[in-house]
Each structure stands twice: as C-alpha cells, then as structure tokens.
Structure 1
Amino acid sequence: MLIVETVVRIRREHAGGKAIKAIARDLRLSRKVVRKAIRSPEAAFNYQRKVQPLPRIGPYQDRLDALLEENEGRGRRDRLRMTRIHDLLVREGFDGSYDAVRRYAARWRAARRKDAGEGAPAFIPMTFQPGEAYQFDWSHEDVEIAGKPMRVKVAHMRLCDSRAPYVRAYPREGQEMLFDAHARAFAFFGGVPRRGIYDNMKTAVTAVFTGKERVFNRRFLIMTDHYMVEPTACSPAAGWEKGQVEQQVQTIRGRFFQPRLRFASLAELNGWLEAECRRWAEHHAHPERGDITVAEALDMERPALQPILAPFDGFHESEHAVTGTCLISFDRNRYSVMSTAARRTVQVRSCHRSCNSPQKWALKIP
C-alpha cells in the first residue's frame, strides 16, 4: 500500500507534465500502480482484498468453524481459550501459527455480529463515591481439604471506590454463610458502605419483577437494615451492573486458586485467603489512581464508611412440620424435637458454626 506522501508526489508530477513511464521508473513502481494513484480521488489509495487466502487454515476451515461454533454454545466458565483451540487443530495435523487461528476467530465473530445485525456493545463506566457501595457475588472453586478434593463456594465482596477485595470459602451457599461473609467482610474493611449491589440469588431475592422491583428475603432485609445498607439487585443476565466483582471472580480464580490449593481445613484456607487479600491490596495499584495502591485507597475510603454498631445474629430461619413421631426434616437430615411440638409447625433457626449465636440451631414453637 502506498503512503499518502507518495500518492501526492505521483499526482503532482503527473500534473506538471511528467510521463507515467518516467514516474514509475523514478519511484520504482509499476505503471499500473501509478495510473491507479493518478485516477484515485483526493489521494485516497486504499487496497481492499476481495478474497482472503488461507494457505494454512484452508484445509481445516470447516473443523475450525465447528470448534468455534461449539465453543460459543458453552457457558462462560467452560469456554476454551484460543490457545486450546489451536492446540486441538495441531493435534489433527494443522501446522499453522496461533496468530492465524486468533485472527480467523476474530473475523468469524465479527461476521456473526454483522449477520445478526448487531454492532459492538457500548458501555458507560460507573463511578462511585467513597463509602457509597460494595458489590457481592459467589463463585465455585476446586480445592483440596485434608487430602480430599472439594468444591467450595467462595463469597466475594469488593468496595466500589477503593477496589478493596475480600473473599472467604464456605462448604455451600446457605443464608447463614451469606450473613457470616458480610460480617467478616465489614470487619475486614473496617466499616459498612451505604449500598450493596447483588444479583438475584435465592438467599437474598424472593421474587423478581419488571425493572428493578424485587421482593427481598425477610431475613436478608433484616440483615441489611441492621447494617443500614440499601440493597440493590441487578437486572437478570446483566453482569456488567456489578462488573467489578465479576472481574474480581476471574482475577481471584487465576491468582489465588490456580494451581489447586491444598489445606488441612477450611479455617486454614480462609486464613490464607484473608492474608492474600491484604497482600494483593498492598502490592497492586488502584486501576484509576495509579499513584496509590488499593490498600492506601482503602485507608482513604475507611472514614466514609458507616461504623459497625453491633454484631448481627446471622441465623437462617425456616418453618417445618413436626411428624407424629416428633421428627423434623431439616437440611437433608432428620432431628428429634420435644413431644409438645408433635404435629405442629415450628420455626427452625440455623447458624453457621462461626457466628455469634451460642447455639448452632434452635427450635421455636409459634
């Protein structure tokens, strides 16, 4: 492709009466290129390739299309990286480079968006004031506890202004674990923001209506009222509304949980995770204020946080029917209760083993 300066020189010399043959000889160009430069409007000399040759990918194009189509149908967690797709082609005899596969995949996705009438999505960055909000989410990670593989549920919280992270692992996503994660995260941050941003998880949201209208779980509302937090639920399938914690899930998975962690107990794992959150904040710059670290930004945001007035009694409450043999079914187990509760509906309050309640579960007869 000719640069603009060369095209302008060709047009100027030809306008001065110089022959095309002489211009081609002096500039070491073909006469065809010189004629095209002369005829082009306003020095616009752009070459558009009509057919893209694929010398390496050609024999494997159908196979690559099938792999890309299959990959698009997978969930985000299970999608293959381009390096893995290139490796699969190499195993089948492909001798081209990774860059060739990457470029082809980019053109393939652009063609799909064009066929569907979709342009590239546009997003408006969200800004937050100190102490304004935090974002919360769960992730599933594979670890090894006491020599046995285990998939733990990891609670993620992130302050929106300072970007300070907090993560803690639990055996499951029960509501009592949700309450415990909030209590420990607020203690770690040294205060409570004014607003919390969540997805529509069942431990927090009972019913989803049009727009932002939600019916929140009763115990979850009691927890947010205790900490003076205004809960905000994201739109369904709109992860960008809490993009900071979504990005944190991917970052923490790659930096903390890979390769697979091995600990003797969940308590040791959580102690290590909390120390890693502090270390990560001390050694990483704030993404928008590069002159300070995340830990320094947290110190600046901490005075704007609300104080923690008292610990929250984070039990999960549910109603159960007592059988005639004085048994209730709770958490996939059967428990015996006092005979006075036979054939009656009772309230069961369960608590995570690390909460502040003296009892781990209790029975209440209305």
Structure 2
Amino acid sequence: MLSREDFYMIKQLRKEGAHIVDIAHRLGCCERTVRRYLALPAPKTGRRTQPRGSKLDPFKSFIDHQLAEGVWNAEVILHKIKDLGYAGGGTLVRDYIHPKRALRPNRKTVRFETAPGHQLQHDWGNLEVLLAGERCKVHIAVNVLGYSRRLHVWAAPCEDAEHTYEALVQALEHFGGVPATVLVDNQKAAVLRHNAGGEVQFNEGFLQLAHHYGFSPKACQPHRPRTKGKVERMVGYVKDHFFQRYQRFESWAHLNQLLTQWVTTVADPRTLRQFDQSPAARFIDEKAALQALPVMRFDTSYRDLRQVGWDGYIEVRGNRYSVPESYCGQGVSLRISLDDTLRVYDKHDALIAEHRLRARTDGWQTTPSHHKPLWQSVGVQQRNLSVYEEVLS
C-alpha cells in the first residue's frame, strides 16, 4: 500500500501530464497500482493487513538470482520458473519484479514520439553465443520504426560498413517501405565526424544508400546515443528475451531464421503498454506513410581493384580465380557479396567473371571457357619420335 504522500504525488504528476508508466517507474510500483490510486477520490486509511502466502514464494530466491545475473525480462523469467513447477500467472511475476527495477542503473530519458513513417532508428549490439559448436561473438543489427515500434533484427559476424548497409536494406525490405529519416549512432560506417557548428560529415557509402532509398540521414549528438532511445531499448529487449531463450545455433542461417520467427511470433504481437496496442497493429497506420522501395536493390558488396596476371588469374583472399584471357595484364574491379559471391567487372563496369569464394586448399578456381583461346594460341613444337626410338635401341 502506498502512503498518503504517494497518493497526492500520483494525482499531481498525472495532472501535469506525466505518463502512467513514468509515474510507476518513479514510485517503484506497477502501473495497475497507479491506475487504482488515480481512480480513488481520497487516499486509503487503515492498517496494513498481513500478506497471504503466494504461489510465487518458493521461486522468489530463483527470481532474485536471475535479476542479479542481469535477466530482467518478466516473460523470460516466467518461462524459466514454469519449467521449475510454478503454476501461477505472469502478473505475480511482474508485480514482484517491478519494485526492484529501481535497483537497475537509471536509463530514463525523454521520449519523443514521431509521426507514422517519419523515422527509423538503427543500432548494433553484441554478445557471445554457441555457433556451430564454437563460442563466438555475434553482432546484432536492430532497426526500429519510431511510430509503430515494429523492429527487424539481423545477426552478422561484424559491424563494418557493408554489414551495416545490408542490415538497413534487409530492414527496409522487411517493412516493405522507406521512412523519411534514418537515425544512426556515430559508427564510422555512417558518420565520419561532427564538424564545428554541428555539421555532420557522413560516410560516402551511407550517403549513397540514403540517396538510393530516398531517406534523410540523421546522426545522434556526440556522447548522446540515447537520442535513439527506442532502438537502444530494443537492443536490450532482444538480448534479454531472444538470447535468453535461444543460446545455441547451428549456423548463421539458423540464427537469422530463428530471429525472423521470433520477431513475427513474439515481438510484433507484444502489447505496448503506453499505447495498449501491438507494434503489428500500429504498423497498419505506419505502412501507408512509408515511401515505396526502389526497383533495384542497393549493392552492399565489398569492392576492390586487381591487376589480372599474364596467366589470366587474379588473387583474392588467398586463392586465385580465372578471368577471360583477353583481360591479361589489365585492371579490373571486384565486388564480393556477403554470401561470398565474387563478381569481376571490366573498366566499363561490365561483368566478365563470377565465382564462389573458396579456401586456398580447394585449389585455383578456373572457368574453362576463360582460358580456351589462350591455350589455342600457344604453339606446341612437333618432333619425330623416331629419334628417341633409335637412342633406346
């Protein structure tokens, strides 16, 4: 039971326009309590009654241990204690955890709501998991639409420019449209520097991506990543929810397949308490406000230059790959997609060769038609074998 002072504080904060969820966070109680006190004409009086036993009592020590380990998602904890025999509902779990959230580091910041289709927020997170039987670091790109809170998550081995652009492209394709602005942190894949006067110098590749899809690039203020608080919260949500349920993956494809399934079945239908709607329901309004996707997909391949050897091969990542013999000694450009497809282009940007990247132990990769004219042009000296027959005899 809250005190008389808490009662009047709730009334005053609500009168000033504070959200119920923020009032509950400030007082360390649940939102139902705030709503109940707002409905009362006057504060309650009388002595506190002795609390009754709860179905949750045998599991409280386990919950406390989970909180100490950094697991604060009530749904994840509910799933775990049900495996231990808990027969109650999720409300008891949430009510028990809510007052303890004040023990977490304060991340509170001002929330700015945006119109449908106005903004997408992008951020990366990372953690270690078991992938193909080995412990490795996984980087997760999270993209969130500001109005609906609908998200897209993609796992990758690193956070370089090419993977950043691929994550954004996949998110736009997932949403089926393009928002007016994309807000990013100050990673080098997107932002080179903040100049004097507040001017932002964006990475040229990121500007090309923005121009291709027709969105305006925006960057957080330096040392203020919480400007994009919606996506920061969702990075934590993915870590505390998805990666608490799933911790072992057969491959990158398996990991991303599970992420897509989880987003569709868990993240999209969840209820946003401040709106009493799900992201999927709010996305109906946002979908109509998104710009159409362009006809051509943005190319997120790695790019490089090579000189073709006189034997008609180029060296790429420790192995050698054939190109047509007519390009011997000439310069060519390379594009290596994130699925390890190698494409070779001439100076006119025409495709002249395509290979799958292979390990050095697989040997040189040769397309027979590339070198057939070369071998035909090589003269072979003809000798009469009778000379050797005389020597042997």
TM-score where L is the length of structure 2: 0.55
1:144 & 1:200 partners in 2: Cα distance? 29
Gaps of 5+ in 1: 5-80, 86-101, 110-119
CA–CA distance in 2 between the matches of 1:278 and 1:247?
18
Matched, 1:137 2:119: no
- Structure 2 distance, partners of 1:154, 1:341, is 42
Residue 188 of structure 2: aligned partner: 202
Distance 1:345 1:249 in 2: 43
Q: Aligned with 2:295: secondary structure?
A: coil
Residue equivalent to 1:268:
254
Distance 2:228 2:253 in 1: 28
| Equivalent residues, number | 253
SS of equivalent residue, structure 2 residue 223: coil
CA distance in 2, matches of 1:313, 1:84: 41
After TM superposition, the structure 1 = structure 2 runs for residues 1-366 of structure 1, keeping only pairs within 5 Å, are 83=68, 123-210=109-196, 212-258=198-244, 261-290=247-276, 292-316=277-301, 318-320=303-305, 322=307, 333=318, 347-353=333-339, 359-365=341-347
For the residue of structure 2 that corresponds to 1:256, the secondary structure is helix
Aligned-partner Cα distance in 2 for 1:148–1:297? 40
Deviations 1:149-178 (A, max 9, x none): 221211110000001111011122233322
Are the equivalent residues in 1 in contact too, given 2:150–2:268 (CA < 8 A)?
Answer: no
Cα distance in 1 for partners of 2:244, 2:159 equals 22
Q: Which TM-score applies when normalising by structure 1?
A: 0.59
Partner residue, 1:72 = none
Q: Which moved more, 1:225-234 or 1:272-281?
A: 272-281
Which amino acid letter does the alignment assign opposite residue 292 of structure 2?
A: P
Q: 1:121 to 1:299 in 2, by over 3 A?
A: closer
Q: CA deviation at 1:319?
A: 4.7
Amino acid at match of 2:128: D
CA RMSD between the two structures: 3.7
SS at match of 2:171: helix
SS of equivalent residue, structure 1 residue 135: strand
**Distance in 1 (alpha carbons) for counterparts of 2:194 and 2:320:** 34
Q: CA deviation at 1:240?
A: 1.3
What SS does structure 2 have at the residue aligned with 1:158? strand
Question: CA 1:220/1:149 → structure 2, altered by over 3 Å: closer, same or farther?
Answer: same
- Contact kept? 1:162, 1:286, Cα under 8 Å: no
**Cα deviation, residue 304, structure 1:** 0.7
2:9 alignment counterpart? none
CA separation of 1:216/1:346 partners in 2, compared to 1, >3 Å: closer, same or farther? farther
Change (3 A) 1:174 1:296: same
Q: CA deviation at 1:337?
A: 7.2
Q: Distance in 1 between matches of 2:219 and 2:125?
A: 17
What is the letter of the counterpart of residue 312 of structure 1?
R
**Aligned-residue offset at 1:213:** 1.9
Whether the 8 Å contact between 2:163 and 2:300 is mirrored in structure 1 is no
Measured after TM superposition, the shift of residue 267 of structure 1 is: 1.1
Q: Kindly provide the CA deviation profile for residues 191-247 of structure 1, in whole angstroms up to 9, marking residues without a partner as x.
A: 111100001212222333235422222222121111111010112221111111111
Please tell me whether the aligned partners of residues 154 and 170 of structure 1 are also in contact (alpha carbons under 8 angstroms): yes
2-structure distance, mates of 1:160, 1:201 = 20
Q: Is the 2:131–2:250 contact (alpha carbons within 8 Å) kept by the matching residues of 1?
A: yes
Distance 2:273 2:332 in 1: 51
| Paired residue type of 1:132 | H
Contact 2:180 2:214 in 1 (8 A): yes
Percent of aligned pairs with the same amino acid: 27
Is the 2:124–2:140 Cα contact (8 Å) retained in structure 1? yes
What stretches of structure 2 of length at least 5 have no aligned partner? 5-65, 71-99, 349-393
Structure-2 separation of matches of 1:271 and 1:147: 18
Answer whether contact 2:121 2:183 (CA < 8 A) is retained: yes
The alpha-carbon distance between structure 1 residues 122 and 184, as it changes in their structure 2 partners (threshold 3 A), is: closer
Aligned equivalent of 1:68: none
What SS is found at the alignment partner of 1:248? helix
